[in-house]
Amino acid sequence: MSTWSYIAVNGIATGLIHLVLFLILLFRRGKEAKEKLALAYMGISLLWVTAVTLAHLEDIFIPAVTDSGRALIPTLAALLAASQLASIAQFLEYPFWPIAATAGYTWATILLLATIYFILFPSNLLPLDQIGIFSWAALILGTTVLLAIGTFRSRLAFHRNRALYWLFTATALATGHAITLLPLGPLQTIGPPVHLIGAIPLTRGVLTFWLPNVKATLRSVFRFLFLFAITAALLTGVVLSVERLTDILALPSIPLTILLAVGVALIYLPLYQALVRLVDRLLAGVGFDPAQTLRDYSQTISGVLDQEQLAQTAVQTVAQVLDIRRGALLVASPTERGGLLLRPVPALGEISTDPVELEPISPILVRLQEDDAPLFQYEIEHHPVLRESPQREREWLRVLEMEIYLPIRAQGELAGLLAMGPQRTGEPYSPRVVEFLATLAHQTGVALQNARLFAGLQELNARIMQLNESLRTAYERLERMDRAKSDFLNIASHELRTPLTQIRGYTDVLADLARSEVLTQEQIARIADNISRPVRRLERIINALLDASQLDAGMTFRFTPTTLAGIMRMAIEAWLPALKERNITLNTYGLDSVPLIRADMERLTQAFSNLISNAIKFTPDGGRITIEAHPLDDEHFEVTVTDTGIGINSMDLGLIFEKFYRVGSIDLHSSGDYKFKGGGPGLGLAIARGIIEGHGGCIWAESAGYDEERCPGSTFHVVLPYHAHQGPCRWQRPE
């Protein structure tokens, strides 16, 4: 058989196999980007195989055909390298793969068109062969860099295995290209068969997301070669020994051969079995007794009632035998919408405890509920169905950096997941290890159910204690409010009786003077003035009671444009005599920095007047009151009223804005409006809060505590909108 016939048969055979791979990809439905790129690669491969074959069939084709095939080899190799670079970048999910594909295909296409042009119109203008070889080398170098980066950056074993798989595939493909570019003559036709060694894994990698374990495959090959070498060495030794002993002992070869075969068999069988066990142990990666480990684990968790302790026990058991880097227990709880809430319980490594809710129609949830098999992170990222899960769920699982999730079931329901990170060896979990982990997760089901029940009891007990504390606090609050209402009745009766007594007394005096007919104009004026003061005080008390009655029914407001400075000026003006008499300094800051506002001027004046009155009453003589205003944001401003008074007890801060509540002893009550520690009926701050909240604002008080000697003072904060509105305050108070 002549050389050309071998070349033709080789070309036809490799071409047909490439064609079969091309057709498999061509007729696959629903092709994604990776399948389209692989299809383009196999199509170019058919042209390349044809060119390589034609280039060495000078005996049956004219020089124009063979020369054309030879000229196209470097260009087609560069086009294959460009397609390979795009495919590898897409397989490894580099975000820039479209740019790499566009640039590589564009350059290789330009080179191909130039080659075809110079084939039709021969010219030595450009060294296209050298350009094609250089382009191929540059593109292959780029592919190698991408594969190296993908291999070293992979933190999960299955991702690293994926990179290794494509590394070996790309190496075989590039080796096939390189053989056809070397000056080997007819030996260049070996390139397409070598190329097939990579083309077949390329097609397989496109059609399925599960890839063979590269390291395990290499170990299997090593085991086969190792055992084959030992067996071949023993058989060779038997043959040589028979020949040698036949000459030395002058014995027939057949009996001697049988005798030696029996002896070697007695030695070889135990040796072979020992070698197989040793190599299988290394291949499986299991250097422990799974049955004994599971028995010990079952005894350990039988008395565990705490979820964190259970997670520690399960993960530490696995870590001791597999040397994993991280692990956690994901406790599952059904949601009202039919989904599943996963809450991590860390056990090994730094793991976030933020939970995630799996949607009711999430493919991940469906997979966990319907299939009892372990779920791999590799599946979540590459399985066409699981990749349709919400991005939020997949991102949450990706951040966990776990390799495998093993379902834990209790009474047939999914109770949780045992999540294990990658092994320190960097190897994917072998089937034997996965079976061990699945059994361990199955044994964890009852313990997890008991731990959840125990946690539920603890939570229920905590809630009961919290409710008891809330009831105790509410009871104390009711007692204080009840005492406040009783005090209010005493104070109100005193507040009403005092001006009435004064009015009655001056009225009697006026009547006696009138009967004695000695009443002068000066006496009438003085008596009228004395009657007017208690009447005004009585009027203020009644108005306060009426305003308080409107707090629950709702106050009416008339919002008009006004200024904060004008409101505060009127509020302060009423207390100037009191400030002077008590020698209290009052300073204001920033009132003019607040622009025009829309509010009820009369009501806001009343509210700030009540706050100033409160500050005066609880500030010793010679003290200081500061009123300061400043903008908060585009919609709100704040006013603070700060005094150097005796302060407020922390227990009273939440009650001072309630109706009828007042601090201090009722025995210290004074009917004066501004006496030190003189209290009123307990309505001023309640009315102030009602007015502020009626403007869409909020009010609160702060104090370091109650101390009459140290005088820590108090600060009342008022936040108001520039444009008052009915409804809750829109400004969020910082925590």
Concatenate the DSSP letters of all residues of 531-548 into one string: HHHHHHHHHHHHHHHHHH
Residue of higher predicted confidence among 367 and 300 = 367
- Please state the pTM of the whole predicted model: 0.57
Q: Give me the half-sphere count of Cα atoms (radius 13 Å) on the Cβ side of residue 532.
A: 6
What is the pLDDT at residue 519?
65
Q: Is 421 exposed, middle or buried (0-12, 13-18, 19+ CB in 10 A)?
A: buried
DSSP 108-163: HHHHHHHHHHHHHS---SS-HHHHHHHHHHHHHHHHHHHHHHHHHH--SHHHHHHH
Share of the chain above pLDDT 90, in %: 21
What is the pLDDT at residue 671?
46
DSSP 399-415: HHT-SEEEEEEETTEEE
Output DSSP code: residue 423. Answer: B
Q: Which residue type sits at 583?
A: N
CATH no. of 3-211 = 1.20.1070.10
> Contact, 699 vs 717, CB < 8 A?
yes
What is the mean predicted confidence (pLDDT) over 453-470?
Answer: 74
What is the pLDDT at residue 253?
66
pLDDT over threshold 60, residue 491: no
pLDDT over threshold 70, residue 2: no
pLDDT over threshold 50, residue 345: yes
What is the mean predicted confidence (pLDDT) over 516-530?
Answer: 69
pLDDT in tens, 245-263: 666 666 666 776 777 777 7
Identify the band that residue 669 occupies on the pLDDT scale cut at 50, 70 and 90. Answer: very low
Q: Which two tokens stand for residue 340?
A: 């599943």
What is the pLDDT at residue 282?
60
Taking Cα atoms as reference points, which of 116, 37, 39, 44 lies closest to residue 77? 44
What is the pLDDT at residue 676?
72
Distance CA 103, CA 83 (A): 10
> Contact, 652 vs 612, CB < 8 A?
no
Taking Cα atoms as reference points, which of 586, 614, 644 lies closest to residue 718? 614
> Contact, 564 vs 629, CB < 8 A?
yes
> Contact, 506 vs 535, CB < 8 A?
no
Taking Cα atoms as reference points, which of 686, 65, 733, 159 lies closest to residue 403? 159
What is the mean predicted confidence (pLDDT) over 12-41?
Answer: 86
Helix/strand/coil for 195 = helix
Mean pLDDT, rounded, of the chain: 81
What is the pLDDT at residue 485?
57
Residue with tokens 């968790």: 301
What is the pLDDT at residue 481?
54
Q: Which two tokens stand for residue 694?
A: 């009626």
User: Of 221-230, 432-441, 563-572, 697-706, which gets the smallest average pLDDT?
Assistant: 221-230
pLDDT in tens, 220-252: 787 788 778 877 887 777 677 766 766 666 666
pLDDT over threshold 50, residue 670: no
Q: Could you tell me the CA-to-CA distances from 670 to 167, 425, 712, 725 in Å, in that order? A: 92, 83, 23, 37
Residue of higher predicted confidence among 278 and 711 = 711
Q: Report strand pairing: 624-631 vs 585-589.
A: parallel
Taking Cα atoms as reference points, which of 674, 507, 506 lies closest to residue 582? 674
Output DSSP code: residue 484. Answer: H
Distance CA 202, CA 165 (A): 9
Output DSSP code: residue 633. Answer: S
Identify the band that residue 498 occupies on the pLDDT scale cut at 50, 70 and 90. Answer: low
What is the pLDDT at residue 319?
81
| Triad 592, 597, 599: Cα angle to 5° | 125
Taking Cα atoms as reference points, which of 416, 454, 444 lies closest to residue 305? 454
Q: Which residue type sits at 250?
A: A
What is the pLDDT at residue 277?
72
Q: Could you tell me the CA-to-CA distances from 346 to 28, 314, 351, 548, 610 in Å, in that order? A: 44, 11, 6, 55, 55
Whats the size of the chain, residue-wise? Answer: 735
Distance CA 19, CA 6 (A): 20
Helix/strand/coil for 127 = coil
Q: Where in the chain is the domain with CATH 3.30.450.40?
A: 290-458
What is the mean predicted confidence (pLDDT) over 527-535?
Answer: 69
Identify the band that residue 90 occupies on the pLDDT scale cut at 50, 70 and 90. Answer: confident
pLDDT in tens, 585-638: 999 999 998 999 999 998 899 899 989 988 998 899 999 999 999 999 889 999
What is the mean predicted confidence (pLDDT) over 404-410?
Answer: 87
Identify the band that residue 44 occupies on the pLDDT scale cut at 50, 70 and 90. Answer: very high
What is the pLDDT at residue 1?
47
Q: Which CATH class is domain 556-721?
A: alpha beta
Distance CA 615, CA 687 (A): 15
pLDDT over threshold 80, residue 396: yes
Q: Where in the chain is the domain with CATH 1.20.1070.10?
A: 3-211
Highest mean pLDDT: which range of 410-419, 465-474, 547-556, 650-659: 410-419
Give kind and range of the element (H or E) at residue 589: strand 585-589
- Tally of CB atoms within 10 A around 264: 16
Taking Cα atoms as reference points, which of 504, 494, 497 lies closest to residue 531? 504
Question: Under CATH, domain 290-458 is a member of which superfamily?
Answer: GAF domain (3.30.450.40)
Give kind and range of the element (H or E) at residue 117: helix 97-120
Helix/strand/coil for 583 = coil
Residue of higher predicted confidence among 155 and 639 = 639
| Triad 581, 587, 588: Cα angle to 5° | 135
pLDDT over threshold 70, residue 710: yes
User: Of 37-41, 61-65, 473-477, 569-573, which gets the smallest average pLDDT?
Assistant: 473-477
Residue of higher predicted confidence among 489 and 322 = 322
Task: Report the chain's C-alpha Rg in angstroms.
Answer: 46
Output DSSP code: residue 656. Answer: T
Taking Cα atoms as reference points, which of 130, 136, 87 lies closest to residue 107? 136
Helix/strand/coil for 33 = helix
> Sheet of 327-334: strands edge to edge?
356-358, 340-348, 327-334, 413-420, 404-410, 375-376
Q: Where in the chain is the domain with CATH 3.30.565.10?
A: 556-721
Taking Cα atoms as reference points, which of 531, 183, 185, 159 lies closest to residue 380? 159
> Contact, 186 vs 108, CB < 8 A?
no
Identify the band that residue 506 occupies on the pLDDT scale cut at 50, 70 and 90. Answer: low
DSSP 294-355: HHHHHHHHTT---HHHHHHHHHHHHHHHH-BS-EEEEEEEE-TTS-EEEEEEEEES------
Cβ-Cβ contacts under 8 Å for 220 (sequence gap 6 or more) = 283
